[in-house]
Amino acid sequence: MNVVPVPFGSKGVDCDTALTSAVALKFKEAGLVFVTRYLGSVSTMEISGILQAGLGLELVTFAHSPGWMPSATLGLQDGERDVLQLKALGIPEDMVIWIDLEGSGGDAADTAAWVNARAQQLVNASYVAGLYVGNSCVLNAAQLYALPNITRYWRGFNQGIPEVSCGFCQFQIFPPNQTFQGVLVDFDFTQSDYDGRVPTMLIE
């Protein structure tokens, strides 16, 4: 596996359904460049099938249930688990790992502490921490941009998402939950942010 930048203007999907090799090939033939799958759900066999189909692979963490209570301690625990899962899958260093931030039931300070602690574990393990900014984000634009360990931002499809001053390098397209090749997905596209940063993906 190799880590490469996602080309500017690439179209992809994110989904929580495990993809067979046949479906991955259909995605590729339909013009997709990448698929984003969930850490803790994706397996080495699925990764192999996705890459052999010629698709790139991005990785995102699962969100906590709506109303969850953030803390630095929880972020540390989440980050430690992320790293263990990444190492078990053989994910190379320098890969952008998206942390899913949505539905927080805590305040801005506790939410930022959770992001910082989780992202720090990824950075310590030589990964790149990105942030998916989704529904019910309690951090404003300045607070998002001030997160010290986050260097990529992915905008959810929801209305009211704060616009970070560096811009987003990945966007989820409205409407969500579309059926594509028999799989429920959200569509995404990529670009560079205002600092020239882009997402990364795994390829064979």
User: Kind and range of the H or E element at 45?
Assistant: helix 44-52
Dump pLDDT digits (tens) for 31-63: 999 999 999 999 999 999 999 999 999 999 999
Residues spanned by the domain of 65: 2-203
CA atoms within 13 A on the CB side of 122: 33
Residue 10 pLDDT > 90:
yes
Burial string for 111-149 (b: 16+ CB within 10 Å, else e) reads: bbbbbbbbbbbbbebebbbbbbbbbebbbeeebbeebeb
Dump pLDDT digits (tens) for 167-204: 999 999 999 999 999 999 999 999 999 999 999 999 99
Q: How far is CA 45 from the centre of its chain?
A: 20
Q: Which of 14, 96, 1 is nearest to 51 (CA)?
A: 1
List strand residue ranges (DSSP E) for the chain, in order.
2-5, 11-14, 34-38, 56-60, 96-101, 128-133, 150-155, 170-172, 178-180, 183-190, 200-203
Q: How far is CA 169 from the centre of its chain?
A: 11
DSSP state of 20: P
Residue 136 pLDDT > 90:
no
Dump pLDDT digits (tens) for 94-128: 999 999 999 999 999 999 999 999 999 999 999 99
**What is the CATH number for 137?**
3.20.20.80
Overall domain count for the chain = 1
Asked if residue 106 lies in contact with residue 69, where contact means CB atoms within 8 angstroms, the answer is yes
